[in-house]
Amino acid sequence: MENRWIEEEAARLEGPLAECAYGSRLIGSDPSLVLHGGGNTSVKADFIDITGDVIKTLYVKGSGWDLATIEPAGFTPLPLDRLRALLALDTLADPNMMKELSAARLDPSAPQPSVETLLHAFLPHRAIQHSHADVIVTLTNLADGTDRVREVLGDSVVVIPYVMPGFDLAKCVAETWADQVEAGKIGMVLLNHGLFTFGDSTRIAYERHVELINRAERWLDERAPRAHTPSDQPLPVVPAVELAELRRRVSDTAGRPMVMTRHVDAISARFVRRPDLADLATRGPLTPDHVIRTKRLPMVGTGVESYAEAYREYFVEHEHRGRTDLTMLDPAPRVIVDPRLGVLTIGDTATAADIGADIYAHTIPVLERSEDHLGGYVALDAGDLFDCEYWDLEQAKLRRAGSPPELTGAIAVVTGAASGIGRACAQELLSRGCAVVGLDRAPSVATEFTGAAWLGLEVDVTDTAAQSKAIETAVQRFGGIDIAVVAAGVFGKSAPIAEMDAAAWRFVQEVNVDAVAALFAAIHPLLAFSPIGGRVALVGSKNVLAPGRGAAAYSASKAALTQLARVAALEWAEDGIRVNVVHPDGVFDTGLWTETLIAERAARYGMSSEEYKARNLLKTEVTSPSVARMVAEMCGATFANTTGAQVAIDGGSERTV
């Protein structure tokens, strides 16, 4: 582990809390130490209240803050006397502990404190840093984990058997501390959990973290070298429809649509081809908190139904351990390992699926190293893992959780997504919880939006092979397709029919109709496996009903597109797929219009530009976002009983009403 403490930067920090935040970021930004909410840190310092009284205070990492980016505002100030009084109790249920901690905050606007606050309060050191370092977890997840930790780290650390985080862990440490603590102790290892280091300053605590982890790294490198030979044989290409069908079964088991991402990197390929895969992969997670993201076990193979039945049996077997009435979580897997499919990670959102992937990417090397060189990987038993998965704090969180956005877990493909109506549709679907794949020939499509839920692909939709490949990529990334929004289109050069260029005519038809027909052929089997029922929305045009002079190519292409949609509605209804069309007009915030062109057109009618934009019955301006909202409604519950519909969004036109 590299010591990344830079004294010049630390010297500019003001006070122990700023130093704690700096050291926390060094720990939190290293994925081999902390993953997605793991780890916590603290510092003890004075708090001066409004009356001028000085209060001995623990500043501990607050809930919701990422250690990689935490600032001083992310730490919760709590009076040490109150915390130590709570720790003196014989018993304290964790929900009650959290209520007391919340009430004890010296700043009520501070975040909720870490569940390990009382442990930080007990430790008789000013600064504390805690991580779930891969190398430490490797040592503790062995049959002789305690002996290995003592062999590697010697008398430098206190070793604590696994106890679930919260009041019980803090109490266990407090009751056993005197038996182990002595001069020279610089850290504490919690078996199957992680590493604590401490000192009189965050710098000292951080440097001790570096020291202990480097000892573990050197020992492991000597006795258990990492596997450096990734699989040289790529996993096979898997038809997109097969992945979509598997996602459908997983989603049905979960009771809601799920995102499923396929990982076929060389390390994943090597792991899933192990002859002992079924045994090794089902030993359990590296740390108990991973069960919240990955469940206790991955699914080996594709037997979703048998996995779900085994999960239900696991719940029934351990339900008696709950401290309150328990609500069973859905029995669908969150990680799938299969010799042909690779590693699949699953979540309610793309972010959740990616978090699962990060966790499992760190799990694989630990499993391999432990099994191949250290006598075998051993996780906690099922009961302890159940306690974490069904922790009363997690159950309370479920009860408080509101409804997610309507389209959470759904996957959409939007053509023409780099600008205008297409971009607005992508943005609206993202805001409603969708994972969105945007297709556009503009390179900017890749960066139109950020975040795990966005995948922008540079594609010319008239290139059928490229468009099909993009659909395959979409399914690899998110697991299937539930929604298709056809917004890519061109107007072409205006010309009377007698003067129309044949190549220009053909180009408009290729973009507006031919490419869509090819898209439909590619996505229909995927939409048929949608866990929410396939949904298609096409952006037509007012010109279908009211064509204009000089717009023969555009008007004819949009009319043909509408007929294509109507036939799809007829043919696809038996697969539960609905197909609807929106006909916009006068949408002036797209690339087809410039302020100069609008002004020129307005002048022809003796209007201002603003008057021209609202030249409709309702005297309202139609914008790309307003069209996008209608498209999103077509893809949501509002249109659940509608297919083959055509809806105008034009403010009302005397030519079409």
* Residues carrying an active site annotation: 554
Cα separation, 379 vs 145, in Å, equals 10
Start-end of H helices in 36-195: 80-87, 94-104, 117-122, 134-140, 145-153, 167-180
3-state secondary structure 28-62: HCCCCCCCCCCCEEEEEEEEECCCCCEEEEEEEEE
Judging by beta carbons within 10 Å of its beta carbon (0-12, 13-18, 19+), is residue 113 exposed, middle or buried? buried
Q: Residue type at 323?
A: R
Half-sphere exposure of 148 (CA within 13 A, CB side): 24
Q: Does residue 344 sit in helix, strand or coil?
A: strand
- Is 57 in contact with 46 (CB distance < 8 Å)? yes
Cα separation, 213 vs 58, in Å, equals 26
Cα separation, 181 vs 399, in Å, equals 41
Judging by beta carbons within 10 Å of its beta carbon (0-12, 13-18, 19+), is residue 422 exposed, middle or buried? buried
Q: Residue type at 391?
A: W
Cα separation, 312 vs 329, in Å, equals 9
Contacts of 308 (CB under 8 A, 6+ apart): 253, 331, 332
To the nearest 10°, the Cα dihedral for 31, 33, 38, 39? -140
Contacts of 582 (CB under 8 A, 6+ apart): 537, 538, 539, 540, 627, 630, 631, 634, 646, 647, 648, 649
633: left (phi over 0), alpha (psi -120 to 50) or beta: alpha
Cα separation, 27 vs 39, in Å, equals 9
CA neighbor of 131 nearest in space, from 29, 210, 30, 34: 34
Structure tokens at 451: 């975040």
Cα separation, 292 vs 325, in Å, equals 18
Cα separation, 212 vs 90, in Å, equals 33
Structure tokens at 348: 């309610």
Cα separation, 173 vs 168, in Å, equals 9
Q: Does residue 436 sit in helix, strand or coil?
A: strand
